[in-house]
């Protein structure tokens, strides 16, 4: 199922016109590479960055942070539809989240004793969980 989430993420990026900084970084590396024939052996040579490429790499480094932050938001959003709280919670701890997920947000839709709202007024009784990603209201489905 996690691979399904990755496929949905790739489809979401394509549909939304989100480019991968990792792809751009690979293209930049490939442009710096050449092969030299030495005694019948192909030897890979990688030239140094130009000043312009160094600036682009600095931009890509920041772009990666934003891209991964969005991917992690997407992953958590997708996981909560099909994971139980026990399966989901380690990902929530690993990725962190700008929104609060509660046990009743996960696939089993079950309250838990460990929830801070157990036995109290739950925020989900008033309002359903909203997507943290602009333009994504429900689960992303691949066309």
73-88 per-position pLDDT tens digit: 999 999 999 999 999 9
Residue 136 lies in a domain: no
Residue 139 lies in a domain: no
Q: How is residue 47 annotated by DSSP?
A: P
Mean pLDDT across the chain: 92
Residue 58 lies in a domain: yes
What is the model's pLDDT at position 60? 95
Residue 138 lies in a domain: no
The percent of residues above 70 in pLDDT, for the chain, comes to 99
Residue 143 lies in a domain: no
CA distance 114 to 117: 8
How far, CA to CA in Å, does 103 sit from each of 62, 66, 86, 107, 127? 33, 27, 9, 9, 15
What is the model's pLDDT at position 76? 95
Other Cβ atoms closer than 10 A to 36: 9
Residue 113 lies in a domain: yes
98 pLDDT more than 90: no
Q: Considering the entire predicted model, what is its pTM?
A: 0.83
Report which secondary-structure segment, H or E, holds 45: strand 41-46
Q: Domain span at residue 7?
A: 2-126
What is the model's pLDDT at position 143? 72
What is the model's pLDDT at position 81? 94
Token match 């333009």: residue? 135
Residue 67 lies in a domain: yes
- CB-based contacts of 46, cutoff 8 Å, min separation 6: 29, 32, 33
Residue 10 lies in a domain: yes
| CA angle (96, 102, 103) in 5-degree steps | 115
Read off the pLDDT of residues 46-72 as tens digits, 9 standing for 90 and up.
999 999 999 999 999 999 999 999 999
Task: Name the domain count of the chain.
Answer: 1
């Amino acid at each position: 199922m996690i691979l399904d989430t990755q496929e949905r993420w790739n489809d979401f990026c394509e549909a939304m016109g989100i480019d991968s900084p990792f792809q751009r970084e690979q293209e930049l590396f490939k442009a710096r590479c050449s092969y030299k024939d030495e005694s019948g052996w192909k030897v890979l040579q990688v030239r140094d960055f130009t000043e312009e490429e160094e600036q682009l790499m600095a931009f890509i480094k920041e772009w990666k942070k934003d891209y991964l932050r969005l991917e992690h938001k997407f992953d958590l959003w997708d996981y909560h539809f099909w994971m139980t709280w026990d399966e989901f919670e380690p990902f929530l701890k690993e990725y962190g989240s700008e929104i609060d997920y509660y046990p009743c947000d996960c696939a089993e839709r079950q309250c838990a004793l460990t929830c801070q709202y157990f036995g109290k007024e739950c925020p989900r009784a008033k309002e359903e969980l909203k997507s943290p990603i602009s333009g994504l209201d429900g689960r992303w489905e691949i066309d």
